[in-house]
């Protein structure tokens, strides 16, 4: 009888433990689901806010840029000419930041399609070099372009997004360079793999481990760190470039050495396996 009571007690105890374990598991699952729902709602509110903010900022910025450009081109007064140029350049930088925020939001929501077309890839790189040449010259920095291709090379991809990535990389290479430094934009064609590798190298100060840990941060991380950022920027260009390269089928990577400089590079297929839309 005592043995039966012992077994019964053990079974009851086991049943109680199982019931408590099941209850705790169910409670934990419900808390986790509630937390996930709260996080998703928070991210949706954040994305909606960023999209709304971007759209509302673009209209006044375009107006400021329009009037600044008109004053800059019509006035012969040196001070007015100089001031309007500063307004125009800073407005353009703000507009690029707003557009970058909007693009990152679209990528996160899967709503940024690629407009694929065929174009001369070397001409595209030369247009990027010319775009930044004037600023580089003012800072006494040389921008060089080289390639291993011997003839005109047609690429099938999104030229606007590719130019956007390369422009961000060259702009960073100039910004974080040193006087009398160099920026090298290189294109390498691998005929065997039928791929193109793009590399932007600078002779700047390189990146410390702390800086490297912040590269390619997500949008929420950038937003959290925004008040602490200094005049070197919020890192939006690199974050956007990283996402765009992934969208085009590649991976943006880098090499850096403190006191020597940095290189950013990525490889894309010569012909994107996407229906041509433009």
Q: Which pLDDT score, from 0 to 100, does residue 121 have?
A: 92
The whole-angstrom separation of Cα 133 and Cα 143 is 7
Report the relative pairing of strands 117-120 and 154-157 from DSSP bridges. antiparallel
Which neighbouring-strand residues pair with 262? 256
The whole-angstrom separation of Cα 214 and Cα 224 is 12
Among candidates 247, 225, 173, which has minimal Cα distance to 203?
Answer: 173
Is residue 256 a contact partner of residue 262, using CB atoms and an 8 Å limit? Answer: yes
- 235-246 pLDDT, tens digit each: 678 888 999 999
Q: Which pLDDT score, from 0 to 100, does residue 71 have?
A: 80
Tokens 């939006």 sit on residue: 236
Among candidates 93, 232, 244, which has minimal Cα distance to 164?
Answer: 244
Tell me the range of 5-19, 62-76, 168-182 where mean pLDDT is highest. Answer: 168-182
- 135-179 pLDDT, tens digit each: 888 889 999 998 887 667 889 999 999 999 999 899 889 988 988
Which neighbouring-strand residues pair with 271? 156
Q: Which pLDDT score, from 0 to 100, does residue 187 have?
A: 94
The whole-angstrom separation of Cα 231 and Cα 197 is 31
Position 129 pLDDT exceeds 80: yes
Is residue 64 a contact partner of residue 87, using CB atoms and an 8 Å limit? Answer: yes
Is residue 243 a contact partner of residue 107, using CB atoms and an 8 Å limit? Answer: yes
Position 88 pLDDT exceeds 50: yes
Phi and psi dihedrals of 269, rounded to 5?
Answer: -65, 145
Which sequence spans correspond to the domains of the chain?
12-108, 117-269
Q: Which pLDDT score, from 0 to 100, does residue 277 have?
A: 40
Write the CATH number of the domain with boundaries 117-269: 3.30.565.10
Q: Which residue stretches of the chain are H helix?
A: 2-74, 78-108, 121-138, 159-175, 209-213, 219-225, 236-247
């Amino acid at each position: 009888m005592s043995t039966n009571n012992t077994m019964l007690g053990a079974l009851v105890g086991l049943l109680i433990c199982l019931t408590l374990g099941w209850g705790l598991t169910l409670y934990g699952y419900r808390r986790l689901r509630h937390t996930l729902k709260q996080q998703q709602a928070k991210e949706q509110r954040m994305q909606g806010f960023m999209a709304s903010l971007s759209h509302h900022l673009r209209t006044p910025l375009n107006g400021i840029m329009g009037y600044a450009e008109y004053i800059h081109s019509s006035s012969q007064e040196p001070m007015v000419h100089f001031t309007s140029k500063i307004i125009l350049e800073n407005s353009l930088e703000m507009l690029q930041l707003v557009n970058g925020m909007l693009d990152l939001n679209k990528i996160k929501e899967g709503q940024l399609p690629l407009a694929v077309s065929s174009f001369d890839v070397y001409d595209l790189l030369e247009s990027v070099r010319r775009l930044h040449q004037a600023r580089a010259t003012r800072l006494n920095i040389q921008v060089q372009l080289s390639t291993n291709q011997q003839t005109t090379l047609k690429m099938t991809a999104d030229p606007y997004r590719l130019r956007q990535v390369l422009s961000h990389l060259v702009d960073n290479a100039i910004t974080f360079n040193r006087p009398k430094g160099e920026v090298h934009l290189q294109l390498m064609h691998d005929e065997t793999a039928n791929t193109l590798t793009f590399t932007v190298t600078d002779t700047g100060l390189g990146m410390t481990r702390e800086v490297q840990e912040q590269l390619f941060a997500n949008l929420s991380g950038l937003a959290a760190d925004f008040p602490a950022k200094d005049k070197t920027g919020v890192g939006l260009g690199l974050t956007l470039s990283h996402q765009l390269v992934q969208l085009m089928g590649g991976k943006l990577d880098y090499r850096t050495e403190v006191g020597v400089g940095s290189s950013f590079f990525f490889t894309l297929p010569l012909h994107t396996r996407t229906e041509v839309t433009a």
